[in-house]
Amino acid sequence: MDNQASVASVESGQGKPLDQVLQQIAEHKGCGTSSEGGKASCGSSTAPEDMDPAIWEKVKNHPCYSEEAHHHFARMHVAVAPACNIQCNYCNRKYDCANESRPGVVSEKLTPEQASRKVLAVASTIPQMTVLGIAGPGDPLANPEKTFKTFELVAETAPDIKLCVSTNGLALPEHVERLSQFNIDHVTITINMVDPEVGQHIYPWIFWKNKRWKGIDAARILHEHQMRGLEMLTERGILCKVNSVMIPGINDKHLVEVNKAVKSRGAFLHNIMPLISAPEHGTVFGLNGQRGPTAQELKALQDSCEGEMNMMRHCRQCRADAVGLLGEDRSSEFSTEKVMEMDIQYDAEGRKAYQEKVEEERQATVLAKQAEMAGLEAEFSDLKVLIAVATKGHGRINEHFGHAQEFQIYELSTQGSKFVGHRRVDLYCQGGYGEEDTLPTVIRAINDCVAVFVAKIGGCPKDSLKAAGIDPVDKYAHEFIEQSAVKYFKEYLAKVKSGEVVHEVRGDADIRQGAYIAA
């Protein structure tokens, strides 16, 4: 493997060419996402030298793959496939499939015809919408006719939209062939175990070959299908991402094994999501008091897998029918009623032009960060701090503290800034005035950060944040996130050196449980 040298942090264990290419893409998914011992891969808007340009094209604008791209491009989901062929203990099928979205939120069920109209309406209005996924509740491949019909209808009018499928994997082997005939850009498999002993505590039953299987048999069959499905996708060159739900005490340690197993079978990205569990969800885990992980536990697991493979940290377990830029929900503009009445003009040219502009914008953020990095490389320090950022997208600090529904978390070190995750919070400000009750919740959610970057912030929350040891920073309002983060870190280092600031290790933070149940 003589191109190995140029991919410093890729482990050489696999030796398969596809594997390598995929690893490289993953390596290259964004600024500062360097793996252990790797160089920060800035400038990721241009393809790396030895990567197949076709594959790079496939992933660079994909909000699922590239944490940099997900600031700028958007995906949407439609719920057309309500049936499922397995039962997960973290799912209550009255609500959404936890594979793709948070439990506790019901999405609108659509027919393939309604769904494709909705997709076209959204794509015409929001040109940065580039990816369509079939979402839960349910498993798209347990509803193959509805899923494939939707894809067919969308592909007819809008062949530029990439299609993706998320599945539990049980029915995957029988559908890989049919999938590969569509313009399927990637498949996500939720794999929570590679050992049926572990699996039996996650899956009470599956429905397969006209029979309900339980216990260890169920977990074994599911496991075999997941692995075979993944291998079949890799053989056909279809990109495959793996999602895992981290369930403390059940599969948390085991997920390191899962990471190895899926990596060796060619998955190119592994996304570990926290279990979201509360009694009011009515799930088995919710009712039996199974807790989800804390932010620190989640990050520790993601870190321990990162040396092995690329981890995806920007998954928001977003609402299944969320529309618009990730995190910014515009679904009410596109209700079935409104969509059926709309006069839809699909403007392929306009979309293309817009996307090119966004690409330029993305380059600009990368260059700005690179410039700011100068001077930091010479610093020697093993200090690492986390900051929280309020943003509406475009890679800028452009959200008010009180309006933020979530914060993006970056880790700062002499290596630069590295995106490490999201934190959902309650809306602090509702209708223009801050509600005092929710402020402690917000603080708990970002309690492990030294600072919070915002476009604007009121006096009261500012004082409370300071009291909690979190520095409210509004001086970078509307500037690029990563550039500002690097600037801030340089100042922070200088202050620590001069003794003005005493660096302390911060505590853990909460992962919001069941946000938006009432929404």
Partner 1 sequence: MAYKIISSQCTACSACEPECPNNAIREKDGTFIIKPEKCSECIGYFDEPQCVAVCPVDDTCVIDNSYPRYVAA
CB of 87 to partner 1, least distance (A): 6
Distance CA 435, CA 458 (A): 12
CB of 96 to ligand SF4, least distance (A): 8
CB of 293 to ligand SF4, least distance (A): 18
Strands 416-424 and 406-413: antiparallel
In three-state form (DSSP H/G/I as H, E/B as E, the rest C), the secondary structure along 161-229 is CEEEEEECCCCHHHHHHHHHHCCEEEEEEECCCCCHHHHCCCCCEEEECCEEEEHHHHHHHHHHHHHHH
Find residue 186's DSSP bridge partners. 164, 239
- What are the residues binding ligand SF4 (CB under 6 A)? 84, 86-88, 91, 93, 97-99, 136-139, 168
- Looking at the Cβ atoms of 225 and 270, the one nearer to partner 1 is 225
Distance CA 211, CA 195 (A): 22
CB of 82 to ligand SF4, least distance (A): 8
- Looking at the Cβ atoms of 139 and 479, the one nearer to ligand SF4 is 139
DSSP 430-483: ETTEE-TTHHHHHHHHTTT-SEEE-SB--HHHHHHHHHTT-EEE-TTTTSBHHH
CB of 99 to ligand SF4, least distance (A): 4
Closest CA to 21 of 180, 239, 304: 239
CB of 63 to ligand SF4, least distance (A): 21
Judge residue 370's burial from the number of C-beta atoms within 10 Å of its C-beta, 0-12 exposed, 13-18 middle, 19 or more buried. middle
- Looking at the Cβ atoms of 87 and 167, the one nearer to partner 1 is 87
CB of 75 to partner 1, least distance (A): 24
Report residue 124 CA to chain centroid gap: 24
- Looking at the Cβ atoms of 91 and 511, the one nearer to partner 1 is 91
Strands 406-413 and 385-389: antiparallel
CB of 87 to ligand SF4, least distance (A): 5
CB of 255 to ligand SF4, least distance (A): 17
Decide if 134 contacts 148 (C-beta within 8 A): no
Q: Which helix (H) or strand (E) holds 386?
A: strand 385-389
- Looking at the Cβ atoms of 104 and 137, the one nearer to ligand SF4 is 137
**DSSP code of 79?**
B
Distance CA 376, CA 32 (A): 13
- Looking at the Cβ atoms of 255 and 389, the one nearer to ligand SF4 is 255
CB of 421 to ligand SF4, least distance (A): 22
Through-space distance between the first and last CA atoms of the chain, rounded to whole angstroms: 52
- What are the residues binding partner 1 (CB under 8 A)? 82-85, 87, 93-94, 109, 137-138, 142-143, 207, 210-212
Say which residues have a Cβ less than 8 Å from residue 453's Cβ, sequence separation at least 6: 387, 388, 389, 390, 397, 473, 474, 476, 481, 484, 485, 488
- Looking at the Cβ atoms of 101 and 143, the one nearer to partner 1 is 143
Decide if 241 contacts 271 (C-beta within 8 A): yes
210 makes contact, choosing from partner 1, ligand SF4, none, with CB < 5 to 8 Å by partner type, with partner 1
88 makes contact, choosing from ligand SF4, partner 1, none, with CB < 5 to 8 Å by partner type, with ligand SF4
Distance CA 421, CA 315 (A): 8
CB of 107 to partner 1, least distance (A): 13
Closest CA to 308 of 272, 263, 252, 271: 263
Within a 13 Å sphere around the CA of 145, how many CA atoms are in the beta-carbon half?
A: 2
Distance CA 270, CA 256 (A): 11
Decide if 176 contacts 61 (C-beta within 8 A): no
